[in-house]
Amino acid sequence: MALKDITLGQYYPGDSAIHRLDPRTKLIGTILFLVSLFVVKNFTGFLFCAICLAILVKISGVPFRYMARGLKAVIFLIVFTALINLFMTPGTPIWQFGILKIAREGIYRACFMAIRLVMLIFGSSLLTLTTKPVALTDGMERLLSPLSKIGLPSHELAMMMTIALRFIPTLLDETDKIMKAQTARGADFESGNLRERAKGLIPLLVPLFVSAFRIAADLAMAMEARCYRGGDGRTRMNGMAFTKLDTVAAILLILYFAAVIALGRLPLF
């Protein structure tokens, strides 16, 4: 079933160097990597990024097949982007059929965009696969905390993310259960035209919303029962500390970024 294929936001247990890095390092690293994908100007640059990413994936110990499953959910987006670029880029036409025409530049742009998207997804899923969601949002909170001085509610934002991430699997479970119960009553979620399918979702969505509200009310009650009152003066059970590993990672990151910029300046294909 399609629900099982969503790997984005799912933690893959392990104890690699990547898993052990401080979440803040990984967050900044991922952001830099994503930025670097937009700095890249040629295919040689992408090749370099891909090699670096492949090495990181290898170190992390997450099986490639497992990561690739995350692509399935967005394959439509990638194909769509590639097609739009293929047909809409002006330039020297090499093929024409009615209003459809393909330019040499279009092929180049389409490949470029598709590679960029695939790498964006791999890069960001490496972060979520190797970092526990709670560590991730804690890291985010710490990174954003200087901004709370100018009124950004960093703790609240992080808490919202934590709750959202925490309840993705719960809601997926719930969806799965309701789907099964309705399938046992003969509901069909997989065939029919778009209209029929959309109508077929009602028996799933109504109970799901009811569940979501129930879960939210229970959670709010449980938090209040334990005197939750926001972020001021709150301490943490697991403090975060940079280690030698993070220093090494930071140096490698700077070198990587410099290399990407340098490659972009060279007249390569």
Partner 1 sequence: MRIEVKDLSYIYSEGMPFESVALEDVSLTVESGEFAAVIGHTGSGKSTLLMHLNGLMKPTRGQVLADGVDIHEKTKEAREARRKVGLVFQYPEYQLFEETVLKDVCFGPKNYGFTPEECEAKAIEALKLVGIDPDEKGGVSPFELSGGEKRRVAIAGVLAMDPQVLILDEPTAGLDPKGHRDILDMVCRIHKEKHLTILLVSHNMDDAARLADRILVLDKGRLAMDGTPQEVFSHYEELHSIGLSTPSSSELLHLLKSKGLNVNTNIFNEDEAVEEILKAIHGA
Q: Which residues bind partner 1 (CB under 8 A)?
A: 12-13, 66, 177-178, 180-188, 202-203, 206-207, 210-211
Least distance between partner 1 and beta carbon 259 (Å): 34
Q: State the nearest-atom distance from the C-beta of 115 to partner 1, in Å.
A: 28
Q: Which is nearer to partner 1, 214 or 234 (CB)?
A: 214
Closest approach of partner 1 to the CB of residue 181, in Å: 4
Cβ proximity to partner 1, 94 vs 216, nearer residue: 216
Q: Which lies closer to partner 1 via its Cβ, residue 52 or residue 187?
A: 187
- Give me the least distance between CB of 202 and partner 1, in Å please: 7
Q: Pull the structure tokens for residue 172.
A: 């997926």
One-character DSSP codes across the chain: -GGGG--TT------SHHHHS-HHHHHHHHHHHHHHHHH--SHHHHHHHHHHHHHHHHHHT--HHHHHHHHHTTHHHHHHHHHHHHHH--S-EEEEETTEEEEHHHHHHHHHHHHHHHHHHHHHHHHHHHS-HHHHHHHHHHHHGGGGGGT--HHHHHHHHHHHHHHHHHHHHHHHHHHHHHHHTT--SSSS-HHHHHHHTHHHHHHHHHHHHHHHHHHHHHHHHTT---STT---SS-----HHHHHHHHHHHHHHHHHHHHHHS---
* Nearer Cβ to partner 1 (77/210): 210
CB of 244 to partner 1, least distance (A): 28
Which one, 206 or 258, has the nearer CB to partner 1? 206
* Region of residue 247 (phi > 0: left; psi between -120 and 50: alpha; otherwise: beta): alpha
Judged by beta carbon, residue 68 or residue 187, the one nearer partner 1 is: 187
Minimum distance between the CB of residue 65 and partner 1, rounded to whole angstroms?
9
